[in-house]
């Protein structure tokens, strides 16, 4: 079996909180976010045998406790992802997946086969704006992905699950809506950086989070990642 390969980071301390991992990027994504930081791997072909990717992971094995599959959209290559995740589990390593949620069947299969330990699901806007913003009809798929992961997290079949909002100036109103939709799920607000638009600062994001009456994690370039509980915040990591 071949994989449309996007890239490999042998060791990363920023892709899974508190863990050293390697990160495998799978090429291709049906969405075209204007802010995508991995635009060079959204399309194109670089097919490699899965064994080659497994060899890359094996070369990092002694330094890491897990593997994060990112992209592009890793679940777009569901069959290859399942094979890769199975090999990673056989090595005794944890499996994380970063996803836009467009392929819920792939997430369901990974969870059903006990091949994933952590899913980070992007939710990009309120549901009513979703398809128009992403230029592809995918809102029902993302809603289904959210339900699959939420249910699996509650039942203990998915040890870690978080919803990630990448927040840009001008879209602050989306946060409260998404937070309500995900009130029972860990929520991360990540500073969006795009072109000349000044990114929201950590203190600006904290003010937005103050309206939510819940603990969130905030990720910014200047502040790393913090757990924020309204008036009191706790420093978790210094780099991201
Ligand atoms: S969904 Fe993710 S990988 Fe795809 S275009 Fe958007 S940011 Fe990039």
The bridge status of strand 47-49 relative to strand 2-12 is: antiparallel
- pLDDT at residue 231 in the model: 61
Length of the chain: 240
| pLDDT less than 70: residues of the chain | 231-240
The tokens describing 194, both together, are: 């795009």
Q: Counting atoms of ligand 1 from 1, which one is nearest the CA of 35?
A: 7
Distances (CA, A) of 148 to 21, 65, 75, 91: 25, 25, 14, 26
Q: Counting atoms of ligand 1 from 1, which one is nearest the CA of 100?
A: 1
Mark out the alpha helices in the chain (DSSP H runs). 50-60, 78-90, 104-112, 127-134, 139-155, 173-181, 202-210
Give the span between the Cα atoms of 120 and 97, in whole angstroms.
6
**Phi, then psi, of 125 in degrees rounded to 5:** -170, 175
Ligand 1 binding pocket mutation candidate from 35, 36, 42 (most atoms within 8 A of CB): 36
% the chain with pLDDT above 70: 96
Task: Give residue-wise pLDDT tens across range 100-133.
Answer: 999 999 999 999 999 999 999 999 999 999 988 8
Residue-range domains of the chain with CATH:
2-167 (3.20.20.70)
CA of 22 to the centre of ligand 1 (A): 20
Cα Dmax for the chain: 52
- pLDDT at residue 232 in the model: 52
Instruction: List all residues whose CB is within 6 A of at least one atom of ligand 1.
Output: 29, 31-33, 36, 38, 42, 71-73, 100
Distances (CA, A) of 127 to 35, 163, 170, 181: 19, 14, 17, 10
CA of 42 to the centre of ligand 1 (A): 8
- pLDDT at residue 35 in the model: 87
- pLDDT at residue 41 in the model: 96
DSSP symbols for 133-157 = HHSSS-HHHHHHHHHHHHHHHHHTS
The residue contributing the CA closest to ligand 1 atom 6 is: 33
- pLDDT at residue 135 in the model: 81
């Amino acid at each position: 079996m071949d994989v449309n390969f996007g890239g490999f980071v042998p060791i990363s301390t920023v892709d899974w909180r508190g863990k050293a991992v390697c990160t495998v990027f799978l090429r291709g994504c049906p969405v075209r976010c204007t802010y995508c930081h991995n635009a060079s791997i959204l399309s194109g072909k670089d097919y490699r045998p899965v064994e080659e990717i497994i060899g890359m992971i094996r070369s990092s094995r002694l330094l890491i406790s897990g593997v994060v599959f990112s992209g592009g959209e890793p679940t777009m290559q569901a069959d290859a992802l399942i094979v890769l995740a199975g090999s990673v589990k056989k090595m005794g390593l944890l499996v994380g997946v970063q996803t836009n949620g467009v392929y819920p069947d792939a997430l369901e299969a990974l969870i059903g086969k006990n091949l994933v330990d952590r899913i980070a699901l992007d939710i990009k806007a309120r549901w009513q704006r979703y398809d128009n913003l992403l230029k592809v009809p995918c809102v029902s798929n993302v809603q289904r992905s959210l339900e699959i992961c939420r249910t699996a997290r509650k039942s203990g079949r998915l040890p870690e699950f978080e919803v990630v909002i990448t927040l840009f100036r001008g879209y602050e109103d989306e946060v409260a809506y998404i937070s309500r939709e995900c009130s029972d799920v860990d929520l991360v607000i990540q500073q969006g950086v795009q072109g000349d638009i000044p990114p929201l600062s950590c203190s600006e994001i904290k003010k937005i989070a103050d309206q939510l009456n819940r603990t969130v994690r905030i990720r910014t370039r200047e502040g790393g990642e913090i757990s924020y509980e309204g008036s009191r915040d706790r420093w978790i990591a210094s780099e991201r």
